[in-house]
Structure 1
Amino acid sequence: MGTKSWWGRTDNRLLEAALGLAALFVGVFGVLLPVFGVVGLIDPVDTREVKVETATRVPGEVTDAVAGHGMTLTGTHQADLAFAHPDLNQRLLLALPDVIGGLLLLLVLALLLRVAKTLRDGDVFVPKNARRLSVIGLTVLVHAVLSPVLPAFTTQALVSGTPMAEQIPASVTFTGEYVLLAFLILALGEVFRRGTKLRADADGLV
């Protein structure tokens, strides 16, 4: 007696549509709009959330210098670094972490969409999917490294040579969640690779 799969064409189309919409959303809001802001087509990103060691207190004699650089820093511990009129370089530094993160996420979604399309043939255990999962795992690992490094690097570049440099210490905080996820995806890709190899060997014996 044959068994009927619970996964049908409608499910596959819904999955592909969801991944496609997610990619479109990330492409528009995570990449295009920040880039448009950098080149001046729309209002740019002008605020960066930063960490400060103590409550933000800019002395009176420094206030003029801060105003001269077009920056304000408000908040305690988690503060907002705002730019009144960011120039091109500042707009680029403010948008860069979001744009890079958006591009990496777009790559992951595009590869997942390619994996989902193999369900049309009823078999996801193919060599191409093993390679795609490996690339997804490496992309997630790169994102895990860049997501804390890029904001820290660009923030220091933004405040370098200004009174804000003393208020905002350089700090990078790594979290293990994305690293763990990356290694799990890489392990899954290896399982796919070995499974497809074993099946190819078994088919060759028939």
Structure 2
Amino acid sequence: MGTKSWWNRTDSRLLEAALGLAVVLVGVFGALLPALGVAGLREGTRDALEVEPETAARIPEAVSEAVTGQGMTLTGTRRAELVFADPDRSQRLLLALPEVVGSLLLLLVLVLLLKVARTLRGGDIFVPANARRLSAIGLTVLVQAVLTPVLPALTTQLLVRGSPMAEQIPFSVTFAGGYVLLAFLILALGEVFRRGTKLRADTEGLI
């Protein structure tokens, strides 16, 4: 007597549709539209970013525009906003770069997950290709865990270099351990898949 799987073809189609929609949304809103903004082909592009001043006391709360210079204005206290009056193309690129890179890495993860989901159609997810895909996802998440805090700090320093803002905005990076842990868990899962598929192939060869 066979057992009925709780996962059916309709579930696979719905999962693939959801992942496909996520790929489109991230690709359009996370990569394409910011890229068009950098090229000057889209209005309403990003012209500000949130920063943490070196010393909150140096920016009086009663003053809305604390530091101004070279087309930039720093407003706020502990979590300040650096606003660019008329950013040029290089400034627009630096402003958009962290978002675009993060979106491209997320896009890669979603595409790999979509390929994993497609293997569910055949009813067998434990295939060698999925082991490689999970390893690639884990490495991508690990890279993203490093770049997510580092890249904004680097681009901010490049944006304020040589301006009065450079003294107000220090280089600051804070890593999130949760993403690193998630990356290693995915890598471990990929290794489990790899060993499982190898063991099954060896077992089938003995039959």
Same fold (TM over 0.5): yes
For the pair 1:121 / 2:139, whether they are aligned, the reply is no
| Distance in 1 separating the partners of 2:23 and 2:53 | 35
Q: Counterparts in 2 of 1:76-155, with a 5 A limit?
A: 76-155=77-156
Q: Which amino acid aligns with 1:6?
A: W
1:52 positional shift = 1.4
Match of 2:59 in 1: 57
Unmatched 5+ stretches in structure 2:
none
Secondary structure of the residue aligned to 1:66 is strand
Deviations 1:80-102 (A, max 9, x none): 11101000110000000000000
| Distance in 1 separating the partners of 2:102 and 2:196 | 32
1:122 positional shift = 0.4
Q: Which amino acid aligns with 1:189?
A: G
Q: With the length of structure 2 as denominator, give the TM-score of the two structures.
A: 0.94
| Distance in 2 separating the partners of 1:73 and 1:204 | 68
Percent identity over the alignment?
73
| Distance in 2 separating the partners of 1:26 and 1:3 | 38
| Distance in 2 separating the partners of 1:33 and 1:46 | 14
Secondary structure of the residue aligned to 1:72 is strand
Match of 2:198 in 1: 197
User: In the alignment, is the contact (CA less than 8 A) between 1:66 and 1:162 conserved in 2?
Assistant: no
1:57 positional shift = 2.6
Q: Which amino acid aligns with 1:168?
A: I
Unmatched 5+ stretches in structure 1:
none
1:39 positional shift = 0.3
| Distance in 1 separating the partners of 2:68 and 2:158 | 16
User: In the alignment, is the contact (CA less than 8 A) between 1:97 and 1:150 conserved in 2?
Assistant: yes
Where has structure 1 moved over 4 Å in runs of 4 or more? none
Deviations 1:97-147 (A, max 9, x none): 000000000000000000000000000000000000000000000000000
Match of 2:22 in 1: 22
Q: Which amino acid aligns with 2:89?
A: L
Q: Which amino acid aligns with 1:81?
A: L
User: In the alignment, is the contact (CA less than 8 A) between 1:144 and 1:179 conserved in 2?
Assistant: yes
Q: With the length of structure 1 as denominator, give the TM-score of the two structures.
A: 0.94
| Distance in 1 separating the partners of 2:147 and 2:11 | 34
Match of 2:13 in 1: 13
Q: What is the aligned length?
A: 201
Alignment RMSD, CA only? 1.5
Q: Which amino acid aligns with 1:202?
A: T
User: In the alignment, is the contact (CA less than 8 A) between 2:38 and 2:93 conserved in 1?
Assistant: yes
For the pair 1:66 / 2:68, whether they are aligned, the reply is yes
1:45 positional shift = 1.1
Match of 1:171 in 2: 172
1:54 positional shift = 2.7
